[in-house]
Chains A and B, each alone.
Chain A
Amino acid sequence: MPSLKNVKTKIAGVKKTKQITKAMNMVASAKLRGAQLKIEHFRPYAEKFYEMLQQLVGKEGMGSAHPLLAEHATRKRCGIVLATSDRGLCGSFNVNIIAAALRVAAEKTSLGQDVVFYCVGKKGRDAVLKSDYALAEGFSALLGKLDFNLAHSLGTRLISQFLNEDLDEIVVVYSEFVSLARQVPKTLQILPMEPATGAAGKSADDEPDEYIFEPDAVSILAEVLPRFINAQVYRALLDTSASEHAARMTAMDNATRNCDDMAASLTLLFNKTRQAAITRDLMDIVGGAEALKG
């Protein structure tokens, strides 16, 4: 039997933990709202961009008019952008993304490609450092105050690496925010861009919309493409950030519930132990009285 005092301190401890997890849950839900708002604000921009790109790529002869659309002669070096959170305590969130990323990396390696990682978020960076893969760059403590500038600088760097042929392929591994209860790790190839994504289903319906291009279609494409890539990077980061908070909310909710269960069973144990002690004391007294009667 554990001592009464022991059980009592344990109960107090569990209750305090519960307060913390509850607070973290609330903080996460507030942050999630912020992240969702950012996604909502970004959506019109992203959609417009996509439309514009479709207009451009859908045009004839534009499929390979830009080096960003073109496949390199060989695919030797692959860059993986891994977006994770900086902090733990969010269930299996980071583990899932990292596992997905390592799977992609293993796949690429088996195809004979060299893999380098670009990590946003401390957890992913730490995981890559522990693995055998090369880490080109690691950003941390940024996802909290995520803005377009970060995505812009990362995107710009990736693009120049691709154009210099330092990288032949770039994929982003991030967590897609499906709903509060569902976040799925996702892999998205951003470079070379598949022209099919733009051209599909766009050729038939818009013959009359012959655009006037200023200065001309090819140079506009050259301006649109890098920005589109930045926008995709930004979207991946936004989604990861929203997913992180959602995952933490769920994890903390579970933890709070577990604390409740634990406190309940500990209280039961406490009462049982107290009962046992009282019974023992009574037995002593009764036994003593019997002995005196003799």
Chain B
Amino acid sequence: MTKPLHLEIVTPEKVVVNETVSYVAGPGILGEFGVLPGHLPLLSALVPGKVTYQVGDKRKYAFVGGGFAEVADNKISILAESAEQLEDIDVERARRAYERARKRLSAPTPDIDIVRAEAALNRAIQRLNLVAMK
């Protein structure tokens, strides 16, 4: 076992996770990637999805709404515009967001931003998937 890995997930509003972990997996733009202690410096863009991390022998999950991950010096920092730990996900809100985005996409009007609605739908689905997995 080498030096422990430190994980930090920060959003503009707060620091979501700040823990020493032994393993992290994140939703990279080129597919999921895993980080173990001693990983080479890495900078990756993230897509909305789940971050898995291992604290002791407990496996924990968090949602990130896209952003970046930086690995350097056994420290992994994830910068996301939105992020929650699994237990903090607001299921009701995600469900509402899902319905709303669904409705917008099924009956598009000119003033609706399709790209944005699709992104919102994707985030809502990812959140709900993560909760369903629990």
Contact = CB atoms under 8 A, between A and B. Distances in A.
A49 B41 contact: no
Contact of B12 (A52, A209, A231): A231
Interface residues of A, number: 29
Given A52-B79, A224-B68, A210 B41 contact: yes
A101 to B, nearest CB: 25
A182 B37 CA distance: 45
Contacts of B43: 52, 55-56, 211-214, 217, 220
B120 to A, nearest CB: 12
Nearest to A56: B43
B10 A214 contact: no
Given A55-B43, A220-B43, A214 B28 contact: yes
A215 B30 contact: yes
Contact of A45 (B10, B28, B42): B10
Interface in B1-60: 8, 10-15, 28-30, 33, 40-45
A223 interface: yes
A227 B40 CA distance: 25
B118 interface: no
A51 B79 CA distance: 12
A231 to B, nearest CB: 7
A148 B81 contact: yes
Chain A interface helix/strand/loop/mixed? helix
A215 B67 CA distance: 13
Nearest to B44: A214
Given A41-B14, A41-B15, A231-B12, A212 B42 contact: yes
A219 B68 CA distance: 12
A202 B70 CA distance: 17
A117 to B, nearest CB: 25
Most chain A CB neighbours (cut-off 10 Å) among B12, B28, B70: B12
Contacts of A219: 45
B45 to A, nearest CB: 5
Nearest to B11: A45
Nearest to B41: A211
Interface string A232-255: 001000000000000000000000
Contacts of A133: none
A44 interface: yes
B122 interface: no
B72 A220 contact: no
Interface string A130-173: 00000000000000000110001000000000000000000000
Contact of B29 (A152, A214, A217, A227): A214
A232 B14 CA distance: 16
Contacts of B74: none
B77 interface: yes
Given A41-B13, A52-B43, A231-B12, 6 more contacts: A41-B15, A56-B43, A209-B72, A212-B41, A212-B42, A234-B12
Interface of B: 8, 10-15, 28-30, 33, 40-45, 67-68, 70, 72, 77, 79, 81
Interface of A: 38, 41-42, 44-45, 48-49, 51-52, 55-56, 147-148, 152, 209-215, 217, 219-220, 223-224, 227, 231, 234
Which 9 interchain pairs have the tightest Cβ spacing? A214-B44, A148-B12, A211-B41, A212-B42, A45-B10, A41-B14, A211-B43, A209-B41, A44-B10
